[in-house]
Structure 1
Amino acid sequence: MTQALIWWLENSPRWLSCCSAQWRRQQEVLRAATFHTGHVLCSPAPLPDKLSRLLRRSCSDAITLLYGSGEVQLQLCSQLPAPQHDPCQLYALGQRLQQRTGEACLHGLVDIGRALSR
């Protein structure tokens, strides 16, 4: 138990850095979405056009947030060293599995974004 606590305390700055990076990305996307929404709502376009533009933008913003979050988490996953108290190497196996599935999810998000942009 003590070894696990020591490992966590040694690696918590990386985790906090990951949270901070996610927070910054969320702020950037939400700030851009707010300005875009204001610009669209103030435009002289008819209401159905405004709503379709806002819907397209909200879908792309959601994909951007998911991709950015996944990218930062994968980066954190690759940076964290395996704990010394893992006799069965379960942490390393889980880390490899998370890396592969995370990359597949990111590629899927890119494919969804491409399909929606057509």
Structure 2
Amino acid sequence: MIQILIWWLENSPRWLSCLAEHGRCQQEVLRSSAFHASHVLCSPAALPDKLGRLTRRAGADVITLLYGSAQTQLTLCRELPLPPHDPCRLYLTGQQLQQRSGQHLLHGLVEMGRTLLR
């Protein structure tokens, strides 16, 4: 139990820095989205055109936020070393599963974005 606590205390700064980076990325995307929405709503375009532009941008922003979140999780998964006491190898198995599923998620989000751009 003490070994796990020590491992957690040694690696928590990495976890916190990844969370902080993720928060900064979310803030940038949301700020950009708010400025875009205000610009579109103040434009002289027709209402259906405004709604179409806002909808396309919202879809792109959601994909961007999901991609950033997945990227942060994969970075954290790669950076954290294995805990010293994992008798069933559960942490290693979970880490490998997260790497594989994360790569598939990133690929799927890129494909979804390409499909929406067509």
TM-score normalised by structure 2 residue count = 0.97
Alignment correspondent of 1:78: 78
Which ranges in structure 2 are unaligned for 5 or more consecutive residues? none
Q: Which runs of at least 4 in structure 1 moved beyond 6 Å after TM superposition?
A: none
Whichever residue aligns with residue 22 of structure 1, its letter is: H
Partner deviation per Cα, 1:19-62 (whole Å, 9 max, x = no partner): 10110000100111011001100111000100010000000000
Alignment correspondent of 2:4: 4
Distance 1:115 1:107 in 2: 12
Alignment correspondent of 2:46: 46
SS of equivalent to 1:73: helix
Distance 1:57 1:14 in 2: 32
CA-atom RMSD in angstroms = 0.7
Q: How does 1:1-118 map to 2 (within 5 A)?
A: 1-118=1-118
- Deviation of 1:83 after TM superposition, in Å, equals 0.4
Whichever residue aligns with residue 24 of structure 1, its letter is: R
Which ranges in structure 1 are unaligned for 5 or more consecutive residues? none
Distance 1:26 1:94 in 2: 26
- Deviation of 1:88 after TM superposition, in Å, equals 2.3
